[in-house]
Structure 1
């Protein structure tokens, strides 16, 4: 089962930026751990700081992959275009955040993408990704489809 982990802006700096919020591990190191923990899933990873590139990736895999785990970073709270892209594809998306967005600034507490995602996970550090992958791993193939 093909699953994409898609990370948005500034997540390429995990392990070096705001360690008190985001921890001290790079996502690349954590991704290796995820691949070992989920051998039944065919995991791929992509990160971009550019909104259009994230949209292109959603379009690229959004009709062929079985799931997308998406941390849109700050675009979560601002991007109608990403919201529209998620709405347009067939592949279910689970929104993830490393920090608890509801314990942060008020503007971070509104997600533009959440209404078009299967669900949202936030506040568990990098383990938010593991929780999302567990969701996809436990689904039976006929349960994966999701349309708003």
Structure 2
């Protein structure tokens, strides 16, 4: 089966639309944070300065779900590199969204806990995911499992395509 230029353009547009939806999700979360009035002006300034992104809020959600979580466990559960986890944890601590809990028997290791502001943010993030999952499930229910599996296969193949350097 050959693909024509129009098919490739439609595919690019659909992928761009999915990216736009992720940006809209992030924007909606930011607007919800501001509108909630649950954060002080100082806290909002710290969150804004930190340039909150989905990965940072994902860390808050993971830690919030656990109550208190060893840093090492967080690096295993996060969907991105240990270096990014480390960088984001530092930023979240600076913004007073996470705190370190020192371990009495190990000076090098520590656990993480969300602050009250971090908990609120994690809960808002989780609620937004529930809304998004509900919307996605409504769309997915219109397609057969076989068609969805083929689409996932196609997207995974595109994601692993390596472009040659020129």
Q: TM-score, normalised by structure 1?
A: 0.28
Of Structure 1 and Structure 2, which has the larger fraction of its residues in helix? 2
Of Structure 1 and Structure 2, which has the larger fraction of its residues in strand? 1
Q: Which structure would you say has the larger Rg?
A: 2
